[in-house]
Structure 1
Amino acid sequence: MKNSFHHAVPDQHGYFGDYGGSYVPTELQLIIDEITLAYQQIREEPAFLDELSRLYRHFVGRPSPIFHARNLSARYGTDIYLKREDLNHTGAHKINHCLGEALLAKKMGKKKVIAETGAGQHGVALATAAALVGLECDIYMGEVDIAKEHPNVVRMGILGARVIPATHGRKTLKEAVDAAFAAYLADPHTQLYAIGSVVGPHPFPMMVRDFQSIIGNEAREQFQQMTGALPANLVACVGGGSNAMGLFTAFLDDAEVSMHGVEPAGRDLATPGEHAATLSQGEPGIMHGFKSYMLKDEQGEPQEVYSIASGLDYPAVGPQHSYLKDLGRVSYGVIDDRQAIDAFFTLSRLEGIIPAIESAHAVAYALQLAEQGERGSILVNLSGRGDKDIDFVIKHFGAEYGVGSL
């Protein structure tokens, strides 16, 4: 049966092989158990599934199309396709799981959803979903990212969310997660922490993956309709890893399909603190309530990390990605800041599509595969659009690429 691999993991305790689980205080585990039970119930309820399907179609605009990037394909000598998650309402894949989490919170009688965000796409999506179903919404975001991703901060405010700055450490995504966890621990009864990726304690890695799996389910059918075959290669960027798991899940049993997760090499892969390549440079550890690969400092604590893409600078990764790495089912490579920005402009100028900097990492890796002579088609998950990044890119790279200051 297709996707049998999907249904085989995690186990009842939330482990994908050695990774996952739930490492939280006992009093919080009781709340987590309630969430697990509620999710297990609604995932089988026709009324819930029908409502989610209705919202995906009529609110989000799904199915998102697959686009054959003919100009890129001609230049690089390989057929390159894009799964256009950037065309979703709110501009990224994040709306897929935010709607599911908001509906779950409403069913559980919660009054508020809270979350972290890096690039702001998860925050905008959750604020959107909260407004739609009638919930309050608090979004924790690093001070650095608030300044960097100003358009998304404005959107969250318009939608009625409260954006709360994380002001400690590097003031980016990891610190936003810290702050959101602290707020959730202070009141786990009236609010639901709507985790923004396939990370955190069980059931969140499973739950977010399940909601995101619509990407791969659509892509598998669409690609066969377009070409008569499955793609030879899948490529997706990996921070926490939700868009990648969303694409990969439907193809895990297809041995002929190669899968590539792309991590940020940042400024310098050889220097701790200058990248966020968790699977490439990290080792198993526990943080934020789950076990997975993580980047550690000399004391074994989460290492400071960096990426030009605010949505990728996280020192851990979803536990299923760690499992797939150890199995050898998915290969994980890296793209640095410079390569990502080059791909940002290349896709914009050859295909008329401005990608999120996060997604540009995946585009860059696909172009690298093509240049290296990778055989067969390449399907890239274009997980988000670049509206949020335009001000930052033009300020720092505009002159170099012939674009005047704003």
Structure 2
Amino acid sequence: MNEGGFFGEYGGRYVAEVLRGPLENLENEFRLAQTDEAFFSELENLRRNFIGRPTPLLPALNASSSIGGADIYIKLEGLANTGAHKINNAIGQALLAKRMGKTRVIAESGAGQHGVACAAACARLKIDCVVYMGEEDIRRQRPNVYWMKLYGAEVKSVSSGTRTLKDSVNAALRDWASSWENTHYLLGSALGPSPFPDMVRSFQSVIGRETKAQLGDVTPDALVACVGGGSNAIGFFEPYLEGVRPILLGAEAGGRGAGIGNNASRISGDGRISIVHGYKSRFLVDLDGQVLPTHSISAGLDYPGIGPQLAYLAESGRIRFVSVRDDEALEALKFFAIEEGLIFAMESAHAGAAAITLARSLGPGKTVVVNMSGRGDKDIFISAAALDGPAWKTFLREQSITEEDS
């Protein structure tokens, strides 16, 4: 990263004057915390005893045998407390907020997993928590909304725009601009104005560092991760960014296919350089810079932009990107459930699909590591409707009748 929070031409801090002070203060506090042994001692304790780290690295023997290609390993972030990698960043930033004397945390959430992680982290550290979430995402991710509220968080529905993640970010930024003196904005992905991309990568790098240590003498030929904003990917790839090996592959949401509103492929699709949400990167925008509609079966991959460091690494050629369609992700979901007894989150299933294709192309004797960034419990209303439609609809209808009778 260069001065000013840039990665090449990407990144920066394009915000209103009212947010410059809070961001500068946050950057200073983050830098100080990085040199504070007590802070990292408490963080390591929380990682071990609250998150449940290290998460396992599973040799996927059945899947590898079925494919007949490279050996696949799966980093099981889905076994972390709250069910996904999001807790790594949430607990780190929540602990930083407490160190700064903040009494309130706000967050945005798309798939809901970041909201759940923030709610859990704030419950543990006894900080008030408010989560902004689009109406459409609330509809798609009702179980996660329930969990957030159970942890004591307030969930605020966002009805503007597309009623999804980008609108939740806007709402959270507006809140922070007027409340920053007692509030920390706990941004969930490696994007936004500096220093957020650095902070999130730092807290998520525990994934990649654990993976590297767990591999021991095994040298991976490729690492694969899904990419929405990019927090699980940049954390997973972090120890391997220098040099040209291994292959680093990011799986974007190919949605229904090509065309405006059918996908969320910023690098492997039609992304343009623009400035949105306070940073410069590649976004799905029109010629006037207006954000275009997106689609993905996974609520966590439909964000119209990508983290600035990932955009820079794509441009340099260090990270390759592919689009994975909804139907391909669903097939991967079924494949790993049947072969390995694992239910990937829909986001992670995109990485699983890309890993299957890559393992076949690399062939025997090679090693592919895929990050299962989360587990699929949260997606039951999506995956069941897609894979078991008639039976699922009958169940929901009967359940509704039962509730009315009671």
**C-alpha deviation, 1:169, in angstroms:** 2.1
User: For 1:283-305, what per-residue CA distance to the aligned partner results, in whole angstroms no more than 9, with x for missing partners?
Assistant: 21101001111111242212111
How far apart, CA to CA, are the structure 2 residues paired with 1:193 and 1:139?
10
How far apart, CA to CA, are the structure 2 residues paired with 1:402 and 1:303?
32
Q: How does 1:226-245 map to 2 (within 5 A)?
A: 228-245=217-234
The TM-score, its normalising length taken from structure 1, stands at 0.94
How far apart, CA to CA, are the structure 2 residues paired with 1:142 and 1:41?
34
**C-alpha deviation, 1:397, in angstroms:** 2.1
Preserved CA contact (<8 Å) 2:297 2:382 = no
How far apart, CA to CA, are the structure 1 residues paired with 2:233 and 2:295?
20
Preserved CA contact (<8 Å) 1:266 1:274 = yes
**1:110 and 2:102 equivalent?**
yes
Match of 2:200 in 1: 208
2:307 maps to amino acid: G
What root-mean-square deviation, in Å, do the aligned CA atoms of Structure 1 and Structure 2 show? Answer: 1.6
User: For 1:108-148, what per-residue CA distance to the aligned partner results, in whole angstroms no more than 9, with x for missing partners?
Assistant: 11111111111111000000111111111110111111111
**C-alpha deviation, 1:184, in angstroms:** 1.5
Query: Which of these residues, 12, 28, 46, is aligned with residue 21 of structure 1?
Result: 12
User: For 1:45-81, what per-residue CA distance to the aligned partner results, in whole angstroms no more than 9, with x for missing partners?
Assistant: 0000000000001111100110011111001112111
Preserved CA contact (<8 Å) 2:224 2:355 = yes
Query: Which of these residues, 137, 148, 153, is aligned with residue 156 of structure 1?
Result: 148
Match of 1:126 in 2: 118
Once the two structures are overlaid, the 10-residue window that deviates more, 181-190 or 27-36, is 181-190
How far apart, CA to CA, are the structure 2 residues paired with 1:69 and 1:53?
28
User: For 1:247-300, what per-residue CA distance to the aligned partner results, in whole angstroms no more than 9, with x for missing partners?
Assistant: 1011112533110011001112x2111111111220211010011111112422
Match of 1:56 in 2: 47
Query: Which of these residues, 62, 70, 74, is aligned with residue 61 of structure 2?
Result: 70
Query: Which of these residues, 352, 356, 376, is aligned with residue 386 of structure 1?
Result: 376
Match of 2:282 in 1: 293
Match of 2:190 in 1: 198
**C-alpha deviation, 1:313, in angstroms:** 0.6
How far apart, CA to CA, are the structure 1 residues paired with 2:363 and 2:160?
43
Preserved CA contact (<8 Å) 2:189 2:200 = yes
Preserved CA contact (<8 Å) 1:394 1:404 = no
**1:265 and 2:242 equivalent?**
no
**C-alpha deviation, 1:393, in angstroms:** 1.3
Look up the SS of the partner of 2:131 in the other structure.
strand
**1:308 and 2:300 equivalent?**
no
Preserved CA contact (<8 Å) 1:261 1:331 = yes
How far apart, CA to CA, are the structure 1 residues paired with 2:313 and 2:17?
29
Aligned structure 1 segments of 4 or more residues deviating by more than 4 angstroms: 399-406
How far apart, CA to CA, are the structure 1 residues paired with 2:32 and 2:17?
23
Unaligned runs of 5+ in 1: 1-9
Unaligned runs of 5+ in 2: 397-406
The TM-score, its normalising length taken from structure 2, stands at 0.94
**C-alpha deviation, 1:370, in angstroms:** 2.3
Number of matched residues?
A: 393
Match of 1:177 in 2: 169
Once the two structures are overlaid, the 10-residue window that deviates more, 87-96 or 294-303, is 294-303
**C-alpha deviation, 1:186, in angstroms:** 2.5
**C-alpha deviation, 1:402, in angstroms:** 10
How far apart, CA to CA, are the structure 2 residues paired with 1:353 and 1:164?
32
Match of 2:399 in 1: none
How far apart, CA to CA, are the structure 2 residues paired with 1:403 and 1:259?
40
How far apart, CA to CA, are the structure 1 residues paired with 2:332 and 2:174?
37
User: For 1:338-393, what per-residue CA distance to the aligned partner results, in whole angstroms no more than 9, with x for missing partners?
Assistant: 00011111111111111100000000001111233456111000000000001221
Query: Which of these residues, 312, 323, 340, is aligned with residue 323 of structure 1?
Result: 312
Match of 2:30 in 1: 39
Preserved CA contact (<8 Å) 1:174 1:313 = no
Preserved CA contact (<8 Å) 1:115 1:194 = yes
How far apart, CA to CA, are the structure 1 residues paired with 2:384 and 2:17?
48
